[in-house]
Chains A and B, each alone.
Chain A
Amino acid sequence: NAGVTQTPKFQVLKTGQSMTLQCAQDMNHEYMSWYRQDPGMGLRLIHYSVGAGITDQGEVPNGYNVSRSTTEDFPLRLLSAAPSQTSVYFCASSRRGARRYSPLHFGNGTRLTVT
């Protein structure tokens, strides 16, 4: 059972370049989300999706785009990379279920460096 799969594991970009971080889950989860992890700041929500065709902004959405055309996939796009986007990015998914209990399943992360 693969769970949540993120690719690539590592990426180095130059300022101004664009790229897409891939995320796929095989658990048929309705909810998916992207977080960034920075030292001393924990994880912060970038964008999230409650189902195919539906996305919304999180706490730190600027500079990132998302779309969700299928239940399984939730790619994160950086349109013009900036050094401030150097971070570790995590994709997560969870099922629509009990309202008070929504544990997240995380991928292993993508470490992005922008020079």
Chain B
Amino acid sequence: GDSVTQMEGPVTLSEEAFLTINCTYTATGYPSLFWYVQYPGEGLQLLLKATKADDKGSNKGFEATYRKETTSFHLEKGSVQVSDSAVYFCALSDLNAGGTSYGKLTFGQGTILTVHP
């Protein structure tokens, strides 16, 4: 079956440091890839997406590139802020035989990011 593996956390950084959170996946089909973010006490929010190989998703200074050859979708940000402290989830949405995903996602275990001033 499908699976997503994220780097283990927690990750602690100082403000303005560079961030990388690794994510690799296995899928039976050709998935779409997502990063979701969860702020304390809230539900998950879509951060960025990529739907085909070599696509780069970006939002709020975060970027991730869909690498089919290495089955990876690593999240990066050049300069983190205290407000980026949250839990980050990598996820994939695979298509079934009928060509739809029905909104089902497979999630990684999540990476807790803490940014200090």
Contact = CB atoms under 8 A, between A and B. Distances in A.
Interface of A: 4, 31-33, 35, 40-45, 48, 50, 58, 90, 92-94, 96, 99-104, 106-109
Interface of B: 4, 32, 34, 36, 41-46, 49, 51-52, 89, 93, 95, 99-110
Contacts of A40: 109
Main secondary structure of the interface of B (DSSP, over half): loop
Contacts of B36: 104
A96 B44 contact: no
A43 B89 contact: yes
B32 A31 contact: no
B87 to A, nearest CB: 9
Nearest to B32: A100
A42 B108 contact: yes
**Most chain B Cβ neighbours within 10 Å, of A90, A100, A109:** A100
Contact of B46 (A33, A41, A103): A103
B109 A104 contact: no
Contacts of B32: 100-102
Nearest to A50: B102
B103 A108 contact: no
18 contacts: A32-B103, A33-B104, A41-B109, A42-B4, A43-B89, A45-B104, A48-B104, A94-B103, A99-B95, A99-B101, A100-B32, A100-B52, A101-B51, A102-B93, A104-B36, A104-B44, A106-B44, A109-B43
